[in-house]
Amino acid sequence: MCHEILHVRRRDWLFTVAEELVRTAFWFHPAIWWVLGEIQLSREQTVDSEVIGMTRSRDQYVDALLAIAAARPQADLASAPLFLRKRHLKQRVVSILKEVHMSKMKSFSALSANLILLAGSCWFITSAIPIYGAPQLISDSAGVAVDMGGAQLMHRNSVNYPPLALVTRVEGTVTVQVKLDSRGNVVDASIVSGPDELRKAVLQSVLNWHFTKEYANGTRQVSIRFELPKSVAAPAGTVAGEMGNSVMGARLQTIRNPVPPSASGAPPLFSALEFAGSDQVRSDLSALIPVHPGDPITPEIANRTQVAVHEYDEHLQASFRQISPTEMKIAVVAVPETAVMATPALMAAPADRPIRVGGNVAQANLVTKVTPEYPPQAKEARIQGVVQFEATVGLDGHIDSLHLVSGPPPLVTAAMQAVQQWVYRPTLLNGNPVRVITTIDVNFTLVQ
């Protein structure tokens, strides 16, 4: 009774409420539970010391603690737990028997040390796990400035200044409204305002953008400012030539390097993962790819790596680069799907020329999908992998043409026969149907 009355006089319930609020805010942090347990133990030991000082009955008090611990209450509900931890009872009894005097200064020092430890733990967690990673560096054409309105992107394609607009000295701001799917991918876009000569370049770029998930299933407005760069005074042929060279360089980056064996004939060893994007995405990719530093990169591992990267984000692809006779690194890069769309030849092309869109954009419009049958001979030989096509989808949603990009030969025929029957909803730009070029991946796994 004396023990509990002292708790009331000390107003310990106020501290208990504050501690439980802290525990609620940091419920899953093990250090918080430990710190609060130590604080509560120190409080109980302080009250124990005061009780013994008032009653002069140390032995009887220890007997009372042990009797209460051994008692089994008959009621189904208890007003409060008798002891916070079993080890706390032991520590309290040992402290009493050793006649340890819990002075106010010692109690205050222990509380201060625990609070400092709590603050240090919170600081370490927030600094070790940053909220945002490093921004992706985008190489837009000279004179192009993109205003995202505060939105965050996982990645986006660069925006090119149309060469025809450079020659005719057209500049201005294009405002585009984009519609996002459940993963943050842009699935539709419409121009709100801006010069006609600049709209096509904007639409072709934003259709391959990928916003972070907090903007999923919503709409956003993006403003892109086009200002004539100083180099626009050069002759038209020079501007076009420079653009052509930059486009050719971008196209060469998308060629998938083979995985050659080392000089000894053994597969090269994986050394590092290279990705010029956020640390969070790099961490996700490192956990997904089926290879670790020092492991051999076989053709099967290379194929599974491509599948893993593509399933994480269809705008990314893995490139295998030899860095020594026995070592190879994997570079994950964004596919520059619209890099070839800003050349003068395409600017002067007919209006019905197909545009290239990301695989996720086309997937969102897929209405009829025929699943390919796994060839029995390929299954018996345990052949699996991804068959990739480049498809042209017509105005009516049917596939006009289908070209093989890569894939195990025993699986190609079955995949082609199925994909040729797929039907899409027409892709719309400013409300009008357009022909599109997209990539289609058909994944064959033995679990099928």
Query: Within this chain, do residues 138 and 124 fall inside the same structural domain, yes or no?
Result: no
Query: Within this chain, do residues 119 and 195 fall inside the same structural domain, yes or no?
Result: no
Of 77, 98, 128, at which residue does a domain stop?
Answer: 128
Q: Is residue 275 part of a domain?
A: yes
- Residue 173 belongs to a domain with what CATH number? 3.30.2420.10
Q: Is residue 225 part of a domain?
A: yes
DSSP 305-365: HHHHHHHH-TTEEEEEEE-SSSEEEEEEEE--TTTTSSSHHHHTS-TT--EE--HHHHHHT
pTM of the complete model: 0.32
- In the prediction, which pLDDT does 263 show? 52
Q: Is residue 187 part of a domain?
A: yes
Work out the average pLDDT over 254-272. Answer: 61
- Per-residue model confidence as pLDDT tens digits over 217-238: 888 899 999 998 775 444 333 3
- Per-residue model confidence as pLDDT tens digits over 59-87: 788 788 778 777 665 555 544 455 555 56
The SS3 of residue 385 is strand
Query: Within this chain, do residues 122 and 143 fall inside the same structural domain, yes or no?
Result: no
Q: Is residue 19 part of a domain?
A: yes
Q: Is 53 left (phi over 0), alpha (psi -120 to 50) or beta?
A: alpha
% the chain with pLDDT above 70? 78
In the structure, what pLDDT confidence band is assigned to residue 13 with cuts at 50, 70 and 90? Answer: confident
Say if residue 175's pLDDT is above 80: yes
The SS3 of residue 437 is strand
- Helix (DSSP H) and strand (DSSP E) numbers for the chain: 15, 17
% the chain with pLDDT above 90? 4
Say if residue 414's pLDDT is above 50: yes
Query: Within this chain, do residues 102 and 209 fall inside the same structural domain, yes or no?
Result: no
Q: Is 357 left (phi over 0), alpha (psi -120 to 50) or beta?
A: beta
Query: Within this chain, do residues 15 and 95 fall inside the same structural domain, yes or no?
Result: yes
Structural domain containing residue 59: 2-128
Query: Within this chain, do residues 179 and 70 fall inside the same structural domain, yes or no?
Result: no
Query: Within this chain, do residues 250 and 354 fall inside the same structural domain, yes or no?
Result: no
Can you read off the two tokens belonging to residue 44? Answer: 């109980």
What does the angle CA 265 – CA 266 – CA 268 come to, to the nearest 5 degrees?
115
According to DSSP, residue 426 is labeled P
- In the prediction, which pLDDT does 325 show? 75
Q: Is residue 430 part of a domain?
A: yes
- Residue 299 belongs to a domain with what CATH number? 3.10.20.310
Query: Within this chain, do residues 330 and 361 fall inside the same structural domain, yes or no?
Result: no
- Per-residue model confidence as pLDDT tens digits over 108-140: 888 888 889 888 888 887 776 655 554 555 678
Can you read off the two tokens belonging to residue 186? Answer: 């842009």
Instruction: Output b/e per residue, 382-409; b: 16+ Cβ within 10 A.
Output: ebbbbbbbebebbeebebeeeeeeebbe
Query: Within this chain, do residues 154 and 170 fall inside the same structural domain, yes or no?
Result: yes
Q: Is residue 178 part of a domain?
A: yes
Q: Is residue 14 part of a domain?
A: yes
Query: Within this chain, do residues 157 and 200 fall inside the same structural domain, yes or no?
Result: yes
According to DSSP, residue 84 is labeled S
Which of the residue ranges 28-32, 98-102, 352-356 would you say has the lowest mean pLDDT? 98-102
Query: Within this chain, do residues 114 and 41 fall inside the same structural domain, yes or no?
Result: yes
Of 67, 94, 128, at which residue does a domain stop?
Answer: 128
Q: Say how many domains are in the chain.
A: 4
- In the prediction, which pLDDT does 231 show? 52
Say if residue 348's pLDDT is above 60: no
Q: Which residue has the higher pLDDT, 21 or 240?
A: 21
- In the prediction, which pLDDT does 235 show? 39
- In the prediction, which pLDDT does 225 show? 92
Of 86, 102, 128, at which residue does a domain stop?
Answer: 128
Closest to 9 in 3D by CA, of 64, 50, 56, 69? 50
Query: Within this chain, do residues 227 and 278 fall inside the same structural domain, yes or no?
Result: no
- In the prediction, which pLDDT does 261 show? 53
Say if residue 430's pLDDT is above 80: no
Can you read off the two tokens belonging to residue 353? Answer: 């020329």
- In the prediction, which pLDDT does 21 show? 93
Work out the average pLDDT over 351-367. Answer: 71
Which of the residue ranges 102-116, 214-228, 351-365 would you say has the lowest mean pLDDT? 351-365
Q: Is residue 183 part of a domain?
A: yes
Q: Which residue has the higher pLDDT, 119 or 429?
A: 119
- Residue 300's H or E segment, with its range, is helix 299-312
What average pLDDT does the chain have?
76
